[in-house]
Chain A
Amino acid sequence: MTAAIRATSALVILAGVLIGGTACRRARGEPPADPVTEVFQRHDQEEGLTRVQTDGKRLFAHYCATCHGEAGEGDGQNAYNLDPQPPNFRESLKEHEPSYWRQIIEGGSAAVGRSPQCPPRGRTVAAGDIDALVAYLEVLGTPRPPTPPAPSAPPAR
């Protein structure tokens, strides 16, 4: 009988060690910081944009900002050569749906019956990039809330 008790208790201890080990592994505290991840997270926080919106911002700076201005306020350096002048996106974007903006980006402003000054990009800019531009326009069209204070704890991973 003693052998049986011994065998059972050995198994119980083995199981205990296994379960305990797993539990300990899970109970360990927050891992220390990943500097690279944090640098990028800080950057994203300052920008307040998602990845796709960030792509859109870069495309906007390349294709649009010379007329529409870096912040989309219609004050790009070429704006003053245009008649009519480009609108201030902070005001004008809420008048239409994103599908309308997409129509302009792809087919040019003439495609929606406005002046022909904003050229079409549908043949040269990839569909995914136009998605990104539209995503960034949504940011430009929304009044920005004051930046929230940076959270002290790193986000859960």
Chain B
Amino acid sequence: MRAPQVAPTRMHAVFAALGVAFLAIFAWVFFQEYLAEWRTTQAQFRRFEREVKDPHALSLAPPVGGIRQIWLTDLDRVDRCTTCHLGVDDPSFADAPQPFATHPGAWMRTHPPDRYGCTICHGGQGEATTYRDAAHGEIPYWPEPVRAGQLIEANCGSCHRQRVVPQAFWLTSGREHIARAGCAACHDIPGFSREEVRAPRLESVGYKLQPGWIDGWLANPRDYLAQARMPNFRLPPDEIAGLSAFLAAQRAVAPLDSSAVNWETADGSRGRILFGEARCVTCHMIDGRGGTLGPDLSAVGNKVRREWLFSFLKDPTRDQPDTLMLRYRFTDDEIRDLVAYLTEELVGVDTGRSGAAPDVRYQNPALLEQGREAFIRHGCYGCHRFAGMEDLPKIGPSLVGSGDRAVEPEEFQGEAVNPTLPSYLFLKVREPDKLTEQSRMPTYAFTELDAASIVLGLLSIRKGDLAASRVTNAPRPEPYEPQGAFGALVNRYRCLSCHQVRGFGGTLSTVPLDRIGSQLQHAYLVSYLQNPGAVRVDIEERMPNFKMTAEEARTLAEYFSTVFIDDALEGPFQVDADAARRGERLFASLGCRSCHIVGTSGGYIGPDLSDTGRRLKPGWIDAWLSAPDTWKPGTLQPDYGLKTEEVRDLVTYLMTLTTASAGRNP
């Protein structure tokens, strides 16, 4: 027997070497698996557990071993985080170091792990079983890192799509900044609409502005107002000249005639008093005090012509059909005095531009055309609705899926930051021209915190759509447009700038009108509309004094009392002296007076109750006291858990309260 001679020694050597090599690799793999990070972690945890727990608790604790995972079947998502994070659901590890610490807060109750797992909220790679592979921390270019600190709120927002997410403060703040800055005027952003962005219409702006003012405003709006809402477009002088000419030429609707006004007799001090009486500060800020619904008026005297202002106050809708501003029933003399106050006393620092000769540049057709082009190039029509430009597209890129956007190394332009999406968005929001040369995006006055919270808002907009059962959206209200005499008054006094009906309208007022007829008595409505007194002592944002006629107040009140009714709140009510006495004792023993005034004493937090018997309807008080939070979530009115009889006694007592002097308004 002899085998063929095929270089046996050489082949043996090769096989031997390969055999050894495979053995080594095999051993290495086993060794690695034996030394896996999670095994070491679990061993540490077992030692740690013995220190933290007493022997009895230890004997009850489930044994720790092997890879643990949560499988979310509807998303086909597997989270193995609990392989190492072994104490998350065990309160005995409250002070333990990571990865063993108990989950803080009430989150495990509100988001049970068997339904939510870990990575939906935290991000990261759920299937990984090592610290690194799970993507803890912001990893360069990595799209799904574990978001730590406040950044986690971005993940709250991928399910919670309504603007206000109570538990996510910074996300909510970011979304509010996005809405207020008007980002949706240039970008498609899910959850934000261009209709929300309100800047004045400019078709008649040529009549409005003082000569020269616009140049300074265009160069940098914050020179005029530190809190200007318009951002800085970094316009070169030639574009400013063109835009200025274009805007000066816009004269679609002439202001109402004010030639009969004798400006010599105008009395600014009377205007100032009227400004206070009408409660203009509810919406307008002056020197840092006042509301933000309307423009800041601190230096309005530098900006507008008095003839235009006269016309605007007489009929704000003349050139601003969509304005939030109501149409007061002022007399011409009152308007003249108001205008005198606004234009003569509210004057800012002299920019050296006022009093310039009347602007005639708008007569130059080439400059005009140049201005029109700049107006379109910079997307001014996004915020300032402009006739004939309604169909022009948004000039910025769509931000749909901005939380999943991939970032590339060259996009960072050598900035010394960790190259991640949050870093990119932050730089872009803060200084738009830093990353993209000749970016058309304007510069906003966002603080670092504003910008960081906006980044959270943008990160929360994800491409991949979650199942509808996992997403919460704010209901989209149907527009409410009442008709007839009532509709005309709602429109004139702009009730919906502040109040809501079926969820539609402004948010300045905390009183929706849906059931106002079941809350307030008819006679009180009639008198309140004509002279809105302060029901709350300490509130600054008060309903304006419209100077409405008695007839108008009756029309509105009639409608409120017949249409804005909640049948559940209407019911029989009987005066019962015994019940009233019991109610009075209860009122004292619950400490209601700490917050409510009755007569001459009481607290400043809740409404003054001195005239409740002529103000409120008993059914409403009953419903309110029984469950205040269902009517107004987060209200300061406590829920005492009162029994039905106790509520009835209190209601009976409150309905006996009226102010002694019949002439006094509450």
Contacts and interface: CB of A to CB of B under 8 A. Distances in A.
A129 B167 CA distance: 9
Nearest to B447: A39
A63 B18 CA distance: 75
B449 to A, nearest CB: 6
Contacts of B14: 3-4, 7
Contacts of B422: 34-37
B622 interface: no
A43 interface: yes
Contact of A124 (B16, B416, B452, B628): B628
A81 B105 contact: no
Interface residues of A, number: 51
Interface stretch (A88-96, A113-121, A136-144, A145-153): A113-121
Given A32-B418, A39-B448, A116 B149 contact: no
A117 B605 contact: no
Contacts, number: 150
B106 A127 contact: yes
B109 A128 contact: yes
B140 A31 contact: yes
B263 interface: no
Contact of B604 (A33, A62, A77, A123): A77
A110 interface: yes
Interface in A51-70: 51-52, 54-55, 58, 62-63, 66-67
A124 B638 contact: yes
Given A7-B18, A33-B416, A34-B417, A78 B605 contact: yes
| B167, B589, B638: residue with the most chain A Cβ atoms closer than 10 Å | B638
A114 B10 CA distance: 97
A43 B150 CA distance: 11
Contacts of A62: 634, 636
A11 interface: yes
A54 to B, nearest CB: 8
Given A77-B538, A128-B109, A35 B104 contact: no
B595 interface: yes
Contacts of A118: 591, 594
User: Which residue, A3, A78, A115, A131, has most C-beta atoms of chain B within 10 A?
Assistant: A78
B426 interface: yes
B602 interface: yes
A35 B629 contact: no
Nearest to B634: A62
Interface string B453-492: 0010000000000000000000000000000000000000
Interface string A69-104: 000000001100110000000000000000000000
Contacts of B426: 35-36, 39
27 contacts: A7-B17, A8-B20, A11-B21, A33-B417, A36-B423, A37-B148, A37-B151, A37-B422, A40-B170, A41-B149, A42-B448, A51-B149, A54-B169, A55-B105, A58-B169, A62-B634, A78-B594, A81-B603, A108-B640, A116-B589, A116-B591, A119-B594, A120-B639, A123-B629, A126-B106, A127-B106, A127-B109
Sort A-B residue pairs by CB-CB distance and give the 3 closest, nearest first: A128-B106, A119-B638, A116-B591
Interface of A: 1, 3-4, 7-8, 11, 31-37, 39-44, 50-52, 54-55, 58, 62-63, 66-67, 77-78, 81-82, 108, 110, 115-121, 123-124, 126-129, 131-132, 157
Given A34-B138, A117-B594, 15 more contacts: A7-B14, A34-B420, A35-B423, A35-B426, A36-B455, A51-B105, A54-B169, A58-B169, A67-B594, A82-B603, A116-B591, A116-B594, A120-B641, A128-B106, A128-B109
